[in-house]
Amino acid sequence: MADWERDTRADYESKGFAVSSGFGKKPALLVVDFIVGFTDPSTPLGGDFSAQLDVTAQLQTAFRKSGLPIVYTTVEYKEDLSDGGVFVKKVPSLGILRKGSPNCAVDDRIKPLPGELVISKNYASSFFGTDLDSYLRGQNVDTLVITGATTSGCVRASAVDSLQYAYYTIVVRDAVGDRAEGPHEASLFDIDAKYGDVVSGDDVLNYLRGLAESGFSGAAREEFETWWNEGRKAPA
């Protein structure tokens, strides 16, 4: 932990910030913009998020075994970028995300299954201009577990809106990434101080294990427990 972070956290905690809000009773996994345009380091928007994708894949498997919702987001624009507003003027590289481009596809390492929801958005927050909140409420979700990219951009914006829509908000530290360490760490610090809990992938898996023991239906409990006891292996 950097000196600024240690000192600031101590100051924040003395003033009532950074209190854990915890988990609720029914989570969904939100995979924010782990699309080719962000996960391919050769693109102007991209970075190497291999480690974060590995953690996301394990969480993805755990949520599937638990029968819990998974939602993915992508960013895609009309050919003339007219639906990008000032955002595409501020970040011209977003122009590589025209609808139909391979850059808009969810990374194959975490490829959605048929029936899993993929939401298209034009701006940073996964909630802004989308039906995400309606879908989550229809599934009786009260907790949003967030992975994806980038920490300082779409992840942070989605976490802020998640809180504002009254969800327990969980950002998975080892499953979110950014193009630079400074914005990444500062954003995680700020999210944890004000908007949600920043936890590890293992923390989420242990939470799901607790749900399996107390709240899942018989079939979901059995499938999750079998996977857990076999070593929590992600699919090949």
pLDDT digits (tens, 9 = 90+) for 83-103: 999 999 999 999 999 999 999
User: Lowest-pLDDT range, 17-31, 45-59, 220-234?
Assistant: 220-234
Determine the angle formed by the axes of helices 218-229 and 50-66, rounding to 10 degrees.
140
The pLDDT of residue 23 is 97
Q: How far apart are CA 96 and CA 40, in angstroms?
A: 12
More confident residue, 23 or 234: 23
Nearest alpha carbon to residue 60 among 117, 25, 111: 111
- Virtual torsion, Cα 236, 214, 118, 176, nearest 10 deg: -70
Provide the pLDDT confidence category of residue 142 given band limits of 50, 70 and 90: very high
Active-site residue flag, 104: no
Is it the case that residue 223 has pLDDT exceeding 90? no
Is it the case that residue 216 has pLDDT exceeding 70? no
For residue 104, what are the contacts with CB-CB under 8 A and spacing of at least 6? Answer: 35, 36, 37, 74, 75, 76, 97, 98
Average pLDDT along the chain: 93
The pLDDT of residue 68 is 96
User: Lowest-pLDDT range, 16-30, 111-125, 154-168?
Assistant: 16-30
The stretch 214-221 carries a mean pLDDT of 70
Q: How far apart are CA 160 and CA 200, in angstroms?
A: 19
Is it the case that residue 236 has pLDDT exceeding 50? no
Alpha helices in the chain (DSSP H): 3-14, 36-39, 50-66, 87-90, 132-138, 156-164, 181-194, 201-214, 218-229
Kind and range of the H or E element at 72? Answer: strand 70-75
Q: What is the pTM of this model?
A: 0.92
Is it the case that residue 20 has pLDDT exceeding 50? yes
Annotated catalytic residue, options 28, 30, 71, 154: 154
User: Lowest-pLDDT range, 102-116, 138-152, 202-216?
Assistant: 202-216
Residue environment code for 36-45, b if the CB has 16+ CB neighbours within 10 A, otherwise e: bbbbbeeeeb
The pLDDT of residue 1 is 67
Is it the case that residue 158 has pLDDT exceeding 50? yes
Q: How far apart are CA 36 and CA 76, in angstroms?
A: 12
| Burial degree of 31 (CB within 10 A; 0-12, 13-18, 19+) | buried
Provide the pLDDT confidence category of residue 235 given band limits of 50, 70 and 90: very low
Structural domains in the chain plus CATH codes: 24-74+105-229 (3.40.50.850)
The pLDDT of residue 218 is 62
The stretch 62-76 carries a mean pLDDT of 96
More confident residue, 218 or 113: 113
